[in-house]
Chain A
Amino acid sequence: MRGTDRTRSVAGQLARLGFDDLTRVRSLLEDPALDPLRDEAGELAPGLLAALGETADPDLALLGLVRLLEALAGTHAPDDADLDAFVAELASDGAGRARVLAVLGASSALVDHLVRHPDHWTCAARAEPQPGQRVRAELVGAVTDRGKHTPYDALRIAYRCGLLRIAALDLTAPDPLTAMPATGEALAELAEAALEAALAIAREEHGPGHEVCRLAVIGMGKTGGGELNYVSDVDVIFVAEPADGADEGEALRVGTHLATGLMRACSTPTQEGSLWPVDAALRPEGKNGPLVRTVASHRAYYERWAKTWEFQALLKAWVSAGDLDLGRRYKAEISPMVWEAAGRENFVGDVQAMRRRVEQHVPAAEASRQLKLGPGGLRDVEFSVQLLQLVHGRTDPSLRSTTTLEALGALARGGYVGRDDAAALDRDYRHLRCLEHRIQLYRLRRTHLMPESAADLRRLGRAMGHRREPATAVVADRAAISREVRRIHERLFYRPLLAAAARLTPDEVGLSPEAARARLSALGFRDPAGAMRHIEALTAGVSRRAAIQRTLLPVMLGWFADEADPDAGLLSFRRVSDELGTTHWYLKMLRDEGRAAEQLAHVLASSRLAADLLIGSPESVRVLGEPDGLTPRSREAVTARMRAAVARRDSPDDAMPAVRAIRRHELLRIVFADLTGRLDVVDVGAALSDLAAATIEVTLAVATAAVAERDGPVDADLLVVGMGSLGGGELGYSSDADVMYVLDPHPGADEAVVTTRATAVVKEMARLLSAAGPEPALTLDADLRPEGKNGPLVRSIESYRSYYERWALTWEFQALLRAAPIAGPEALAAQFRRLIEPLRWPEHGLDAKQVRDIRTLKARMEAERLPRGADPSTHVKLGRGGLTDVEWTLQLAQLCHAHDHPELRVTGTLRGLRALETCGLVPPADAESLRESWLLANRLRNAGMLWRGRPVDSIPSDLRDADGVARIIGLEPGSGAQLSEVWRRVARRARHAMDANFYQ
């Protein structure tokens, strides 16, 4: 019993100390290897267990300790001097013990190294910060005076000793975040020392004659930046020059040989492992370029051909090893060019492409665990800081540091970035880097992923100083930081622009107007001066409005910059804000309603139509803040609202603006929903058709009342029949509403009078809907009626009947295929449907002549209808394989077969095509081609209207327009030039299907 109690209490003690796998720990504690650390009573040295508990992973540290002791005992050094010294160190509570245990508890890879080289425990125990010079001398010394080891092994062993030193200091630092920059710098210096030593090996390998070449190694990337990771590729560039009197060709040959030797000395695996790959791919011409070049050759390359990203890489260039004088000459010649990069022609486009690339290359499965890539990752911070250095370092030499954190500090001191933002970002960056360091340290693997297993997370959490629930805490920390870093563009790029515009705190250094403009144009604004004016106007003053805009705008500027037309987005936003600035809900909505501001920014910078609509009725922006604001309203709901608006007003001329304002409001809702990806083209068609029908229905009532008041009662029922895409329920943003009107005089009415008044009603309707005013017009087009433009506007059922029986041409029956009554009494609608049924779905289909007529008419239209100058291969409506081709193919089949196949009796093109396929009248592949073209054509027309605010029926011939349209239909930014190929491919297939099914 006593034994059990004791067991439990020991277990409790161990658990409290932080040990995890208690059974295993207990058996380890009894390991004889620990004997030297026990006193006569068999108790471990005082405080040792607690000291183990201080480490990131006490289990790991204990196991490491056992293994190290075994190894020390096995070395048979004279009198076990090593073992004794080690035991003495471990028995006493001091910094030495803490350092050794910290390493053992954080890195299984370093434990492995220690087991192989037990005497290296002193590297950790006696670790002190060392100047780079001394590290360099030590490593070079180790490979020259190397005893029994091969040069490669000697280099690796000495390097790991250095690594032990750095890790020991890093892991025992009171605050790892404070220590982070020093650790990164020490690692970079160690890498540089290794490069120097490797160069010494390469020289030795080359043997006599290497003197003809002066070789400098320029550190790039994190090495050059003095902010290296524990495990990373080391990026370098080699510079060679002939020694005095030597031949250049010979020197370059030797230089190449030395450089290759150096790279091999670092990366070749031996029994002691390898250091890291040396990557020289940042050199001019990348992997295809010569490995070494002279200073002049480097210079010539960068003068002529370098890309923006190469200059960005050169920001980090640092003379790392070899001939330091030569390296300094290289720096002096090349660096000035880096600072001119922002003035190069393609700078803006390059930067945007680079930014997209930074954000893209993350495998989706890893995105949530990535510390380095993706939005809110380390790369994002580094990239953003570098970009600002390039933009502003041109005029301000104080920004030209190679180190991320130093540069960030300099940006803050110069006023290019807010002080608080810089401080927060500095802290976040250190934190992410620390996580990365500790993750890498465990196995000395190059990884930037948060671990997944509980044990790994626990170790990581403890290494970051968490003692309670370390696994949960470290994940939560990281998530919070990433969330903050994700706002980096706002903080670094945009917020300072506001400070520049407002000049709020005169005592703090701010962005100068020139610097602000340089930055705006780097971010993609084409008119930076204009943009600055808008920012000023939006944020000037001390009003609540200005205060809220100041917090909003930095984020919104970023969203504008993501779209095709940032300038237009900002301008529209200013105009909307000028209108609504004082309304309380507007600012509140933008500030509080989650995504409202983001959606507004994206919509305004990608759509002229949205901007135009919104400028007229800014209050409609409200829909963005409403919970279901972006769901199109049903026809009934819209009708009811319009009716209510009419009821509140006395005269038609008062009522109609209200009806049209409601229409615009609903139109905007559809536009917003469309642009934010909530609706597909079919939904948009249905929503627009419902909206048009509701508007027409209400307007019909208003117009009838108006005529009745003016001329006397309209003693008849009036029916509005939707034709074309309205009848099909497939209206686009730029479509007119095709209609016909049916009149049914009440019994006993005077037909002539009724007809006159009904005609007046119809004309009044058209006037009311298209009268000039702030609201967008809805154009009613009645040209499809019998006798076209020359026929009477309204006819009775009987009149339609006699016309269709006697005079009508086949195309008029074809037009009836899409007829659908949309407003007026249902009884009359049913009558009209009965009338046209045998006409549009004739019992025996069409006779040969009728078919020929339709085909001939179509063929003639192809030759004649296309507007002057339009290209049939890019006109999405009338061109080859366009809308007309698809619709006529369907309609001919409907005329011929709808009587036998009731599924074909639909007014919508898409449903008709589906029916055509299921009835087996068109092969599935052809039906698919037709459908694809119809969908794409409608998407393109809608996108064109959204982008330009004007109808677009062809693929835009201006590249910017094509890009704007392409983005709206979901292509990558910059694919404007592809748009015509995309359309032509789809249209060609549709044309094939049309040829096979319409003309044959």
Chain B
Amino acid sequence: MNRQEEFVLRTIEERDIRFVRLWFTDVLGTLKSVAVAPAELEGAFAEGIGFDGSAIEGLMRVYEADMLAKPDPTTFQILPWRGESPGTARMFCDLLMPDGTPSVADPRHVLRRALGRAADLGFTFYTHPEIEFFLLEQQRGPRGRPVPVDDAGYFDHVPHGTGHDFRRAAITMLESMGISVEFSHHEGAPGQNEIDLRYADALSTADNIMTFRTVIKEVALTQGIYATFMPKPFSEHPGSGMHTHLSLFEGDSNAFYEPGAPYQLSKTGRQFIAGLLRHGAEIAAVTNQWVNSYKRLWGGGEAPAHLTWGHNNRSALVRVPMHKPSKGQSTRIEVRSLDSACNPYLAYAVLLGAGLKGIEEGYDLPPESEDDVWSLTDAERRAMGIKPLPASLGRALEVMEESELVAELLGEHVFDFFLRNKRQEWRDYRHEISRFELDRYLTRL
């Protein structure tokens, strides 16, 4: 760790870095940034930088003194879009109380705590997200509707290379920040893209997702377009999910792998999935935290709205993907409910927590569902014991509120704040008169 700090200070000297941005994330998953001069950094490593947390969502003061942001030197990166020299760099921070104990309001700490619990059981937790998002024109279309950049269907639109340029620029920038990616243009919807981040431990992945969202938005701006991670911008197109592959390792060996078992899935793997399914509804408000998230979940297609699992079943909440039998280390499971606008720290913490609960309590895995869940009738689903995810944010909050597990995973402070904040969002939403209502009722009624 400390060699890292040394490295950071040296790099700052060598690369003529004039500002270092200290990044942290609020409870809702919004990136926050405090800029400090390199001279302050040494002190920041030793003691942290004081700031008034009360101004930031979910960090309201629990104690009177200011909080401290302590940079994590392993996350040091130069920000490529801020120009070469003099440059700007960033580091993620842990938030601390004045006495040096971790702040209960820090999402990064929530994830660290969950990872610590996994470590106590001998596990390390790896994640591999596939992040979807839309690229849109800056000008909105008729009736304020968003306009995808590459929808050839739009009559006036001269086809140009926006998409290509964007991809090249984004990849260059991401890789220069040490985030290696796999890019794919998603055919699901016009303007939709998907980028896969490489396998990494959950904390690095979460940091990378935060960086990634920023980079994508920055690059889009330079191209005169904008990027959105909104879960469901178009009712007629699929939404933006963040399917994430999860695996647990015990030392060097994959704890989900058992040769000869069905899908090479070990008992640990089965119990982990069982935990995700049993607690899926409780954690939904965290994995899918916006009003809009539930429009994606219940929008049909490949979005998983039911608590099922399957092998290559694209309507299931948890999918056990195929892989070569020889590659035992790559056994993993894919959770498909997450959307690209979640707070990755909290979302990974609750997924891990739910899965570990399954392992600790030895849950039995319900039978695999082979059908497309959407094609079943309600009665069939009832008969098969398939339960739905909450239908709305409001419902998800009601379920979460009853959950001892989520309270424990998030900590009482974050749990309480999250519920209050999201209830307000739900109230605000209900207050709104939607286009649907105007179109349907205004003239008719």
Contact = CB atoms under 8 A, between A and B. Distances in A.
A722 B73 CA distance: 62
Interface stretch (B56-64, B180-188, B216-224): B56-64
Given A304-B42, A977-B97, A285 B65 contact: no
Given A957-B63, A977-B97, A980-B62, A988 B2 contact: no
A288 B64 contact: no
Contact of B1 (A285, A958, A981, A988): A285
A959 interface: yes
Interface stretch (B118-126, B349-357, B410-418, B421-429): B410-418
A957 B99 contact: no
A736 B92 CA distance: 51
Given A305-B5, A974-B99, A962 B413 contact: no
A874 B412 CA distance: 11
A252 to B, nearest CB: 13
B56 to A, nearest CB: 17
Contacts of A981: 104, 411-413
What 9 A-B pairs have minimum CB-CB distances, sorted nearest first? A984-B412, A305-B2, A977-B101, A957-B64, A977-B97, A981-B412, A985-B412, A959-B63, A957-B63
B63 A977 contact: yes
B63 A285 contact: no
A285 B73 CA distance: 14
A288 B3 CA distance: 10
Contacts, number: 68
B60 to A, nearest CB: 9
Counting chain A CB atoms within 10 Å of each CB, the highest count among B2, B6, B42 belongs to B2
B63 A988 contact: no
Nearest to B416: A873
A988 B413 contact: no
Residue of A962, A976, A978, A984 with most partner-chain B CB within 10 A: A984
B291 interface: no
A976 B47 CA distance: 19
A585 interface: no
29 contacts: A284-B2, A285-B2, A288-B1, A300-B6, A301-B2, A301-B6, A304-B42, A305-B2, A305-B5, A305-B46, A873-B416, A874-B62, A957-B62, A957-B63, A958-B65, A959-B63, A959-B99, A976-B99, A977-B101, A977-B104, A978-B101, A980-B62, A980-B104, A980-B412, A980-B413, A981-B413, A984-B416, A988-B407, A988-B412
Interface string A340-354: 000001000000000
Given A285-B1, A288-B1, A304 B6 contact: yes
Contacts of A974: 99, 101
B402 interface: yes
A801 interface: no
A269 interface: no
Contact of B97 (A304, A345, A959): A959
A253 interface: no
B317 to A, nearest CB: 27
B163 interface: no
B100 to A, nearest CB: 8
Nearest to A986: B412
Interface in B1-39: 1-3, 5-6
B426 to A, nearest CB: 18
Given A984-B413, A988-B412, A992-B402, A962 B1 contact: no
- Categorize the interface residue count of chain B: 20 to 34
Interface in A970-994: 974, 976-978, 980-981, 984-985, 988-989, 992
Given A984-B416, A985-B407, 20 more contacts: A289-B3, A300-B6, A301-B6, A304-B42, A305-B45, A305-B46, A957-B61, A957-B62, A957-B64, A958-B63, A959-B64, A959-B65, A974-B99, A977-B97, A978-B101, A980-B62, A980-B412, A981-B104, A981-B413, A989-B404
A338 B1 CA distance: 22
A962 B63 contact: yes
Nearest to B96: A977
Given A974-B99, A984-B412, A988-B416, A285 B3 contact: yes
B106 to A, nearest CB: 12
Contacts of B407: 985, 988
B321 interface: no
A18 to B, nearest CB: 53
A284 B6 CA distance: 13
Nearest to A982: B412
Contacts of B416: 873, 984, 988
B366 interface: no
B386 to A, nearest CB: 28
Contacts of A992: 402
A839 B3 CA distance: 75
Contacts of B45: 304-305
Nearest to B401: A992
B5 A304 contact: yes
A874 B64 CA distance: 14
A441 B413 CA distance: 56
Contacts of A989: 404
B2 A304 contact: yes
B101 to A, nearest CB: 5
A80 to B, nearest CB: 57
Interface in B36-95: 42, 45-47, 61-65
A959 B98 contact: yes
Contacts of A978: 101
Interface string B379-419: 00000000000000000000000101001000111011000
A875 B1 CA distance: 40
A144 to B, nearest CB: 37
Nearest to A987: B412
Nearest to B62: A980
B419 to A, nearest CB: 10
Interface in A679-723: none
B381 to A, nearest CB: 29
A959 B101 CA distance: 11
A285 B1 CA distance: 7
Nearest to B419: A988
A957 B62 CA distance: 7
A995 to B, nearest CB: 10
Nearest to A293: B3
Contacts of B64: 957-959
Contacts of A962: 63
A300 B2 CA distance: 10
Interface in A497-555: none
Contacts of B5: 304-305
A992 B404 CA distance: 11
A873 B407 CA distance: 14
Nearest to A957: B64
Interface in A281-295: 284-285, 288-290
Contacts of B47: 345
B123 to A, nearest CB: 20
Of the listed residues A285, A959, A977, A988, the one surrounded by the most CB atoms of chain B closer than 10 A to its CB is A977
A874 B62 CA distance: 9
Contacts of A980: 62-63, 104, 412-413
A956 to B, nearest CB: 8
Of B6, B63, B98, most A-chain CB atoms within 10 Å:
B63
Interface string A945-966: 0000000000001110010000
Contacts of B97: 959, 977
A288 B62 CA distance: 35
Contacts of B101: 974, 977-978
B2 A977 contact: no
A290 B6 CA distance: 14
Contacts of B3: 285, 289-290
A989 B413 CA distance: 14
A651 to B, nearest CB: 49
A925 to B, nearest CB: 11
A959 B100 CA distance: 11
A408 B97 CA distance: 39
Nearest to B60: A871
